[in-house]
Chain A
């Protein structure tokens, strides 16, 4: 082992290959007593919680039976549809508003600003009621080529989509704007210098990069929307929540049916979270020096690493 005291001036000389390697450090690790205490405390609390629920008067067989009950399934399906369609409205309209807001045309940008101001400034429950009761002030919908009674047009489903979707657009507009602004202006300049026009620059260069910033909060919005859609029960559209409570008003299993609804909401949000994970991976192309493995790849690596144990703890896992 070279003497560490000497040669402060000359460049450090690497130790010869056959030199005895320095002894590995065997130190007594720091004991984290606090970690142990807090872990035990949390486990005890969890145990108490489980015990309490085990002793509670819950008829679990009712929960099990109703998880796949017709009305509940139809409700869950309705929730999924309302979420997907309102988010579609929200994303498309939101991106349009984001571009309008960033436009150099003062009329477009102020209209977008006003839209966001209104829809973000009022509760979505109030907006749902406003849409649902539109027929009170406009009896007939007349857009020239199409004419019908407002009552016929604004069903509870349409009111739900309008209420949730238009409200969502206001939030998506801000997310989209943040995403577009996050892209370095040098990217636009480089594209323009190559002779690309604005439309192509936006589509090929700016938006793909903005997506990296846009997707995580959009996934968040999706999951929020799944839960917010339960407000639609207020205008008596039978989605998951209303379906569950409707069943409980017949079988009087109030808590059991709420648990059923809870389980379904968790299933739906979990599925969405997984989808978001893979979408984010897709748009992170080129951002890092290599993507982290997916859970599937990780499991495969685990399985193969049983054979090559020396890899475990290395960079494989």
Chain B
């Protein structure tokens, strides 16, 4: 687990109007690593995740993915905003899974997975379909290929969403509380897919409340609160022996 840095964050700040949500985030995610972010709601962990694929613009600091600045080009010591097309190109390599799935409801599971490869990468439909079927089989949904999202359970929808992100063959996957909107008995099936993905060596950043998953699968963990990283380390270490008061208070509530 000592790959090159996949994500590097230096003093990242983000404000929404007068409210400062991120107050200087410094962290590094190595290639092949499962990086968990935990913390109370409103701590800025989802916002930080959304900054990584430029769904949110950062106000200060530098954010790199695979050595490239996110959303900007640097020439000399001047920053240039990227054009929409360049941002879209950057995002191709970063898969994202949302808390509320955000599947396209007017498309079947297979069409959801095919959409980006066909529209963005220009893959032929037959080829994309084949890839979609393979990916859906990989997340255990070989028999639901032609179902619409409304015909699937929450856990199945989230697995389709993971397959949809994987279809672009990303080098980094972002998970924004992927199991928070699920009924308790459906959480396991999604975590199983994520665990398998981690075993295949995918670089993953996971915002989660599933401490069990973080302890078992995670390679690193940071605890965020109030827009800063309060504590970081190996998940087992941080979860078992939190050093910081705020971490202790938080963990005592969720464990």
Q: A residues engaging B (CB < 8 A)?
A: 184, 186-187, 189-198, 200, 204-205, 208-209, 283, 285-289
Asked whether A195 and B106 contact (CB < 8 A) given A189-B55, A286-B150, A289-B150, the answer is no
B102 x A195 contact (CB < 8 A): no
* A200 contact set on B, CB distance < 8 A: 119-120
Residue among B89, B92, B106 having the largest count of chain A Cβ atoms under 10 Å: B106
A187 x B104 contact (CB < 8 A): yes
Q: Verify if B191 is at the interface (C-beta below 8 Å from A).
A: no
A185 to chain B, nearest CB (A): 9
* A191 contact set on B, CB distance < 8 A: 104
* A289 contact set on B, CB distance < 8 A: 150-151
B107 x A192 contact (CB < 8 A): no
A204 x B115 contact (CB < 8 A): yes
In the complex, besides A184-B102, A192-B55, 13 extra interface pairs with C-beta distance below 8 angstroms are A186-B98, A189-B55, A190-B96, A191-B104, A194-B91, A195-B91, A195-B116, A195-B120, A196-B119, A197-B85, A198-B84, A286-B105, A286-B150
* B149 contact set on A, CB distance < 8 A: 286
Select from chain B the residue with minimum beta-carbon distance to A186.
Answer: B102
* B142 contact set on A, CB distance < 8 A: none
| Contact pick for A193, options B91, B104, B115, CB 8 Å | B91
Whole-angstrom distance between the alpha carbons of A178 and B168 in the complex?
A: 32
Select from chain A the residue with minimum beta-carbon distance to B108.
Answer: A286
Whole-angstrom distance between the alpha carbons of A119 and B145 in the complex?
A: 48
Q: Verify if B79 is at the interface (C-beta below 8 Å from A).
A: no
Q: B residues engaging A (CB < 8 A)?
A: 53, 55, 84-85, 88-89, 91-92, 94-96, 98, 100, 102-108, 115-116, 119-120, 148-151, 164-165, 168
B102 x A194 contact (CB < 8 A): no
Asked whether A209 and B106 contact (CB < 8 A) given A194-B91, A286-B150, the answer is yes
Whole-angstrom distance between the alpha carbons of A184 and B92 in the complex?
A: 22
Select from chain A the residue with minimum beta-carbon distance to B100.
Answer: A186
Give the tally of cross-chain contacts (CB within 8 A). Answer: 74
B128 to chain A, nearest CB (A): 13
* A193 contact set on B, CB distance < 8 A: 53, 55, 91, 94-96, 165
Residue among B98, B119, B164 having the largest count of chain A Cβ atoms under 10 Å: B119
Whole-angstrom distance between the alpha carbons of A312 and B145 in the complex?
A: 32
Residue among A186, A190, A205, A288 having the largest count of chain B Cβ atoms under 10 Å: A190
Asked whether A197 and B116 contact (CB < 8 A) given A186-B98, A287-B150, the answer is no
A69 to chain B, nearest CB (A): 46
Asked whether A196 and B98 contact (CB < 8 A) given A190-B104, A286-B148, A286-B149, the answer is no
B255 to chain A, nearest CB (A): 30
Select from chain B the residue with minimum beta-carbon distance to A285.
Answer: B106
Q: Which 3 A-B pairs have the closest CB atoms?
A: A195-B92, A286-B148, A190-B102
Whole-angstrom distance between the alpha carbons of A200 and B116 in the complex?
A: 10
Whole-angstrom distance between the alpha carbons of A204 and B115 in the complex?
A: 9
Select from chain A the residue with minimum beta-carbon distance to B83.
Answer: A197
**7 A–B pairs (Cβ distance < 8 Å), ordered by A:** A186-B100, A187-B102, A194-B116, A196-B116, A204-B119, A286-B150, A289-B151
Residue among B107, B116, B149 having the largest count of chain A Cβ atoms under 10 Å: B116
A216 to chain B, nearest CB (A): 16
Whole-angstrom distance between the alpha carbons of A194 and B90 in the complex?
A: 10
Whole-angstrom distance between the alpha carbons of A298 and B55 in the complex?
A: 48
* B92 contact set on A, CB distance < 8 A: 194-195
A287 x B120 contact (CB < 8 A): no
Whole-angstrom distance between the alpha carbons of A195 and B149 in the complex?
A: 21
A210 to chain B, nearest CB (A): 10
* B119 contact set on A, CB distance < 8 A: 196, 200, 204
Select from chain B the residue with minimum beta-carbon distance to A205.
Answer: B104
Whole-angstrom distance between the alpha carbons of A196 and B122 in the complex?
A: 12
* B108 contact set on A, CB distance < 8 A: 286
* A283 contact set on B, CB distance < 8 A: 106
* A198 contact set on B, CB distance < 8 A: 84
Whole-angstrom distance between the alpha carbons of A283 and B100 in the complex?
A: 23
Whole-angstrom distance between the alpha carbons of A193 and B85 in the complex?
A: 13
Whole-angstrom distance between the alpha carbons of A227 and B106 in the complex?
A: 34
* A186 contact set on B, CB distance < 8 A: 98, 100, 102
Whole-angstrom distance between the alpha carbons of A191 and B164 in the complex?
A: 11
* B98 contact set on A, CB distance < 8 A: 186, 189-190
B106 x A194 contact (CB < 8 A): no
Whole-angstrom distance between the alpha carbons of A102 and B149 in the complex?
A: 28
Whole-angstrom distance between the alpha carbons of A192 and B55 in the complex?
A: 8
A253 to chain B, nearest CB (A): 52
Whole-angstrom distance between the alpha carbons of A117 and B53 in the complex?
A: 40
Whole-angstrom distance between the alpha carbons of A196 and B115 in the complex?
A: 9
